[in-house]
Amino acid sequence: MHSNHTVSGNSRAVISTQTGPHEQLLAQVTKHSRSDWGKPITDYNRAAFDRAQEWLLERTGKLILDSGCGTGDSSRALAEMFPAHQIIGIDRSAHRLSRQRQHTPDNCLLVRADLLDFWRLAEQAHWRPERHFLLYPNPEPKPKHLTRRFHAHPIFPVLLALGGAFECRSNWLIYLEEMALALQYHHKTAQIQPIDGNVPPCSPFEHKYRISGQPLWRLQAML
Q: Where are the domains of the chain?
A: 25-32+61-222
Give me the helices (H) in the chain, please.
25-33, 43-57, 73-81, 94-97, 115-124, 156-162, 173-185, 204-211
Residue 193: exposed, middle, or buried by beta-carbon count in 10 A (0-12, 13-18, 19+)?
A: exposed
Look at 209 and 11; give whichever has higher pLDDT.
Answer: 209
Express each pLDDT in 82-109 by its tens digit: 999 999 999 999 888 888 667 899 999 9
Express each pLDDT in 161-206 by its tens digit: 999 999 999 999 999 999 999 999 999 999 999 998 888 888 888 9
Q: Report domain 25-32+61-222's class.
A: alpha beta
pLDDT exceeding 90 applies to what percent of the chain?
78
Express each pLDDT in 105-153 by its tens digit: 999 999 999 999 999 999 999 999 999 999 999 999 999 999 999 999 9
